[in-house]
A and B are shown apart, each in its own frame.
Chain A
Amino acid sequence: MTSRRNFLRSCLAGGAAAASAVLPETACARDTLVRPPEGLGLLYDATLCVGCQACVAACKQANENPAEFTAMDKLWDTPLDTSGHTFNLIKMYRNGTMETKDSELNGFSFMKTSCMHCADPSCVSACPVSAMTKDPVTGVVGYDPDACIGCRYCVAACPFGIPKYQYDSPTGKIGKCELCRHRHKDGHYSACAEVCPTGATLFGRTEDLLAEAKRRLAVKPGEWTTIPRGRLPAKGETPEQAAQWKGLVDQSYQAKVGNYLQHVYGETEYGGTQVLKLSAVNFQKAGLPDLPPKSSAATSETIQHTLYGGLIMPLAVLAGLTWVAKRNVVPEDDEASKNQKGGQS
């Protein structure tokens, strides 16, 4: 009896220890994932953005989303936030008299709100039915409504508040930016970048975009430099590769460099995102969360795999429990005879 108790106790203790374990160092630990080398993304430069919302309209059109009316006269599309029918919105930071653009004090600034295409997306880790997936090559985080059960765990999990559910529909889907992946096969890249008049939203390979962002950060504020628009050609791109995409190759123009904060948002946050951002105004004030380099998906999956990896621990505990239960469960009909034997407790 005593040995049985001890056995069980160590069984449970083992389980508890593992459950409690803040076990990032064990074999089951899963590191934060990194961006795929050929991953595609966007670079948004708030200092170049003029708030024209052309990208918002283009995004609506590219994704066949209906207008959302919030003003009395219903003259045009006026979504209050991104939603199941609005995947992209330019939001505004405002302070005091709002006199100076890109100034934190008495100024204003814009910020693009759309999926960041995280290297280690919480939405993909959360989704129980693989309706959210990350393309291994392009890194685009796509959504499949035919797989989705509408549990909205992705909505709850995303630190940027991106996936949104269509509450107005009995068969509501999740709506989110998929980097216009449905347009890629026709050679069209992200509609938002395609129409952006100032190059504030730029499409390209994330690694090239990151280099471009760092280049801008290195220039002295106020100096003139070349700003590409539309699509940033990949480094070492062959003419064949370039021909894959429609549109003018060189739309660049000269502009003055902004007074940037020395931070490429998305370079390291949660292990990095494929959409990168530059701003002169504090990113948190402009509505982006302050995230550590370790992703929550890695923490969550580490716990999950530590407890259930290969089902080793559950099976071990089950074996222990079965062993104990077999001794203690007495078929009710012959319990009278057993009563004499085991009379403890």
Chain B
Amino acid sequence: MSAHHPAAPVGGKLFNLPVMICGLLIAAMFAVLFVRFIFGLGAVTNLNDGYPWGIWVVVDVVIGSAFACGGFSVAMLVYIFNRGHYHPLVRPALLASLFGYTLAGVGVLFDLGRWWNFWHILWPGYANPNSVMFEVAVCISAYITVMWIEFSPVFMEQWGLKVQKQKLEKVLFFFIALGTLLPMMHQSSLGTMLVVMGPQVNPLWQTPIVPLLYLLSAITIGYGIVLFESCIAASAYRREIEMHLLQPMAKIMLGVLAAFLAVRFGDLVVRGALGHALKPSLEAFFFWLEMACFVAPYFIVGTAGARRNPARLFVAGCSIMLGGILLRINGFLIGYDTGLGVDHGWNYFPSIAELLVTLGMFALEVLGYIIITRRFPVLPREGAAH
């Protein structure tokens, strides 16, 4: 393994503009949630019987957790494929994942109509192991715990708990293995959640191999988000971008992306579903948009020269993230239709209140990231990473 660059707190003031904006957004979220818990889901959301799941489930949980795959994608690179030189990317990526998942877990509660029963899902007397959602819930809960364990050396370092840290590091490899397996399991299962909905999901997104599609796309999104985060963190903290790491990582990302695209198209051809993409419909339009976002990175960072340009890496990361968003929104919302002949006429578009909650959750993530990176050793020490 190559040498690790020690991480260090970024330091600096905690009260600044971004933090205040986050604070405002979070306050707005709590106001909406107050109304939601007093008057019910109908009071603040546009959910209805034709669209029982809206952006709280699809964006906050399904997309949010895929965005939190940076930690898993990088950890896999470092510890499983033994690419130790990516090590400086591990902590920041893990931190973002930690927040993404923890908040996705909390966010589910807002959407549960009978939230006080939430523990049933982990209780043997109630659990239904045939349910894909049961599997997702168990894996995500376990993964959140594992990630806090994986991340805890950061706190131990800051608080000088040397002995505990050494003890933990002896067994950390097991948690890292678990922390690679669990997201693989539930990211694929997030896709499998569509299967039981049968013909209500457009054939462009309803396929028995949906677990593999969601898994591969989650891994690519993981790398995309690392590109995105590294560029943002570098510009926000006026630090140098870790180009020597991001360049080769972008190449790996393109490789996984190619596997994803091969499976995506192969599946459509084998099932004969490609015809649905040629109809003049909203679904077909969004399908091609999704495809465009997944293919664009080859044009943006396809050459070694292009990958030396940080702006291009950033845009490529965004493009992949957008593709991942679309794959999920398309499956769960655009391509979902109760479609019962005379029943037609259900519509869904998120209300302002729903959007405020999603924004508030996002603000919480950003706020947490800022506070922890400024006060705890997460990002590599400036000047050491060369």
For B80, B215, B338, the residue with the greatest tally of chain A CB atoms inside 10 Å of its CB is: B80
Q: How far is the CA of A308 from the CA of B115 in the complex (A)?
A: 27
Contacts of A128 on B, CB cut-off 8 Å? Answer: 121, 127-128, 131, 133-134, 137
With A130-B128, A170-B38, A296-B196 as known contacts, state yes or no: A161 contacts B79, CB within 8 Å.
no
Q: Which of A167, A288, A297, A324 contacts B48 (CB 8 A)?
A: A167
| Chain B residue at smallest Cβ distance from A1 | B82
Q: Is B273 an interface residue (CB 8 A)?
A: no
Contacts of B189 on A, CB cut-off 8 Å? Answer: 304, 307
For A91, A111, A289, the residue with the greatest tally of chain B CB atoms inside 10 Å of its CB is: A289
Contacts of A189 on B, CB cut-off 8 Å? Answer: none
Q: Which of A149, A152, A300, A328 contacts B120 (CB 8 A)?
A: A149
Q: How far is the CA of A285 from the CA of B340 in the complex (A)?
A: 9
Q: How far is the CA of A295 from the CA of B83 in the complex (A)?
A: 45
Q: Which of A91, A93, A126, A167 contacts B131 (CB 8 A)?
A: A126
Q: Is A15 an interface residue (CB 8 A)?
A: yes
Q: How far is the CA of A159 from the CA of B169 in the complex (A)?
A: 50
Contacts of A159 on B, CB cut-off 8 Å? Answer: 198-200
B49–A161 CB distance below 8 A:
yes
Contacts of A318 on B, CB cut-off 8 Å? Answer: 177-178, 181
With A149-B114, A168-B40, A325-B180 as known contacts, state yes or no: A83 contacts B49, CB within 8 Å.
yes
Contacts of A303 on B, CB cut-off 8 Å? Answer: 192, 195, 208, 211
Q: How far is the CA of A151 from the CA of B115 in the complex (A)?
A: 9
Chain B proximity of A154: nearest CB distance (Å): 9
With A307-B211, A328-B80, A335-B1 as known contacts, state yes or no: A20 contacts B263, CB within 8 Å.
yes
Task: Give 1 or 0 for each of A153-165: 1 = CB within 8 Å of chain B CB.
Answer: 1011101110011
B39–A170 CB distance below 8 A:
yes
Chain A proximity of B334: nearest CB distance (Å): 14
| Chain A residue at smallest Cβ distance from B153 | A332
B40–A345 CB distance below 8 A:
no
A19–B215 CB distance below 8 A:
yes
B39–A332 CB distance below 8 A:
no
Task: Give 1 or 0 for each of A312-345: 1 = CB within 8 Å of chain B CB.
Answer: 0010011001101111111111011011001111
| Chain B residue at smallest Cβ distance from A122 | B196
Q: Which of A297, A301, A332 contacts B4 (CB 8 A)?
A: A332
Q: How far is the CA of A339 from the CA of B83 in the complex (A)?
A: 13
Q: Is A145 an interface residue (CB 8 A)?
A: yes
Chain B proximity of A342: nearest CB distance (Å): 5
Q: How far is the CA of A175 from the CA of B132 in the complex (A)?
A: 22
Q: Is A127 an interface residue (CB 8 A)?
A: yes
Q: Is A284 an interface residue (CB 8 A)?
A: yes
| Chain A residue at smallest Cβ distance from B168 | A331
A126–B215 CB distance below 8 A:
no
Q: How far is the CA of A322 from the CA of B47 in the complex (A)?
A: 43
A122–B117 CB distance below 8 A:
no
B173–A325 CB distance below 8 A:
yes
Task: Give 1 or 0 for each of A114-157: 1 = CB within 8 Å of chain B CB.
Answer: 00000000100111111100000000000001111111110111
B40–A16 CB distance below 8 A:
no
Q: Is B188 an interface residue (CB 8 A)?
A: yes
B130–A333 CB distance below 8 A:
no
| Chain B residue at smallest Cβ distance from A270 | B198
Contacts of B212 on A, CB cut-off 8 Å? Answer: 16, 19-20
| Chain A residue at smallest Cβ distance from B126 | A129
A161–B185 CB distance below 8 A:
no
Contacts of B38 on A, CB cut-off 8 Å? Answer: 170
Contacts of B130 on A, CB cut-off 8 Å? Answer: 125, 297, 301, 304
Q: Which of A150, A326, A344 contacts B112 (CB 8 A)?
A: A150
A329–B79 CB distance below 8 A:
yes
Contacts of A157 on B, CB cut-off 8 Å? Answer: 196-198
A127–B131 CB distance below 8 A:
yes
Contacts of A339 on B, CB cut-off 8 Å? Answer: 1-3
Q: Is B223 an interface residue (CB 8 A)?
A: no
A335–B3 CB distance below 8 A:
yes
B121–A149 CB distance below 8 A:
yes
| Chain A residue at smallest Cβ distance from B198 | A296
| Chain A residue at smallest Cβ distance from B131 | A128
Q: Is B339 an interface residue (CB 8 A)?
A: yes
Contacts of B40 on A, CB cut-off 8 Å? Answer: 166-172
B112–A308 CB distance below 8 A:
no
Q: How far is the CA of A338 from the CA of B4 in the complex (A)?
A: 11
Q: How far is the CA of A93 from the CA of B169 in the complex (A)?
A: 68
B166–A331 CB distance below 8 A:
yes
With A149-B112, A168-B40, A287-B341 as known contacts, state yes or no: A308 contacts B131, CB within 8 Å.
no
Q: Is A264 an interface residue (CB 8 A)?
A: no
A321–B177 CB distance below 8 A:
yes
A91–B198 CB distance below 8 A:
no
Q: Is B236 an interface residue (CB 8 A)?
A: no
Q: How far is the CA of A19 from the CA of B187 in the complex (A)?
A: 12
Q: How far is the CA of A76 from the CA of B135 in the complex (A)?
A: 45
Q: Is B85 an interface residue (CB 8 A)?
A: yes
Chain B proximity of A174: nearest CB distance (Å): 8
List 11 A-B residue pairs with CB atoms under 8 Å apart, sorted by A's residue number.
A16-B212, A128-B131, A149-B115, A171-B40, A295-B198, A299-B196, A300-B192, A303-B211, A325-B176, A328-B173, A339-B3
Residues of B within 8 A of A (CB): 1-4, 37-42, 45, 47-50, 52-53, 78-85, 111-115, 117-118, 120-121, 123, 126-128, 130-135, 137, 153, 166, 169-170, 172-174, 176-178, 180-181, 184-185, 188-189, 192-193, 195-200, 208-209, 211-212, 215, 263, 336, 338-343
Residues of A within 8 A of B (CB): 1, 8, 15-16, 19-20, 22, 81-84, 91-93, 111, 122, 125-131, 145-153, 155-157, 159-161, 164-173, 270, 284-291, 295-297, 299-301, 303-304, 307-308, 314, 317-318, 321-322, 324-333, 335-336, 338-339, 342-345
Q: Which 4 A-B pairs have the closest CB atoms?
A: A150-B113, A167-B42, A296-B198, A150-B114
Known: A170-B40, A289-B340. 6 other contacts (CB 8 A): A19-B209, A126-B133, A130-B128, A299-B195, A308-B135, A325-B80
